[in-house]
Amino acid sequence: MKRLSLIPAVLLILTAAAQNNINEIALVVSPLNFEQPESYQALYRRHLSNDRLLRIGGRFFAETLKETRADTVATNFGSVQYDLSCGLQKNLRIDNLDALYLYAAVDGYWNSEFNRKSYETYYGYYWNFGVNPIAGIAYEPFDNIRLSLESKADFNVNLQDYSAAGLNKDKKFSFSPLRQLGLSIGYLF
């Protein structure tokens, strides 16, 4: 039992000693589109230098095994979606404000969807990729907490013709100047 209580104590000491705050894990939520699965994202940021950060994000959404019955016929439908993104961020410091700064970033992303509609007998796999230019403002009220507000644009490339529901349905190239307004809370470690 003493050994088991020693493990959390050692981890706590190591975590406190390693508080150089070069890593961040954040949850980004779009308050304008709570109902849509695209409105949530996990984000990891790592400081490469004083004002440059590496951004890696991901989103996973699964909604399967819905059953529709019409008389004696039952059909199943649903979808599995994921996004992977990676990019760079540049912090733009405001003169006398250490806890508040602006930032600009660019993320490249891959979006994938695997779905089946109730009226089809096959599963479809759909994908697209694009670039998100981002502008934001961040505030660090404490040494290890960061609050951010960011606006994302979207330039999307879709090389498939498909009938799936989504923002980029049947569009080869699309540009949305204000696709998402995101609020994030992050923990720095």
**pLDDT tens string 45-101:** 999 998 999 999 999 988 876 665 666 555 667 788 899 999 999 999 988 888 999
Does 10 fall in a domain?
Answer: no
User: Across the chain, what does the average pLDDT equal?
Assistant: 81
> Quick one: pLDDT at residue 88?
98
Q: Stretch 33-40: mean pLDDT, rounded? A: 76
DSSP 33: -
> Quick one: pLDDT at residue 81?
87
DSSP states along 62-82: EEEEEEEEETTEEEEEEEEEE
Cβ-based burial of 109 (10 A; exposed 0-12, middle 13-18, buried ≥19): buried
Does 1 fall in a domain?
Answer: no
Q: State which residues form the domain around 74.
A: 21-188
Q: How many other CB atoms sit within 10 Å of the CB of residue 89?
A: 21
β-strand partners of 102: 92, 137
Note the pTM of the prediction, 2 decimals: 0.77
Does 16 fall in a domain?
Answer: no
pLDDT value at 176 more than 90 = no
Which CATH number does the domain housing residue 45 bear? 2.40.160.20
Does 7 fall in a domain?
Answer: no
Does 131 fall in a domain?
Answer: yes
> Quick one: pLDDT at residue 10?
53
Q: Specify the number of domains making up the chain.
A: 1
CB 16 within 8 A of CB 171: no
> Greater confidence, 9 or 93?
93
> Quick one: pLDDT at residue 168?
52
Report how far apart, in Å, the C-alpha atoms of 81 and of each of 29, 31, 68, 76, 159 are.
17, 20, 21, 17, 18
> Quick one: pLDDT at residue 1?
46
Does 9 fall in a domain?
Answer: no
pLDDT of 57-68, one tens digit each?
999 988 876 665
Does 15 fall in a domain?
Answer: no
> Quick one: pLDDT at residue 84?
96
Distance, in Å, from the CA atom of 23 to the CA atom of 137, rounded to the nearest integer, reads 18
pLDDT confidence bin for 4, thresholds 50/70/90: very low
Q: Stretch 144-158: mean pLDDT, rounded? A: 91
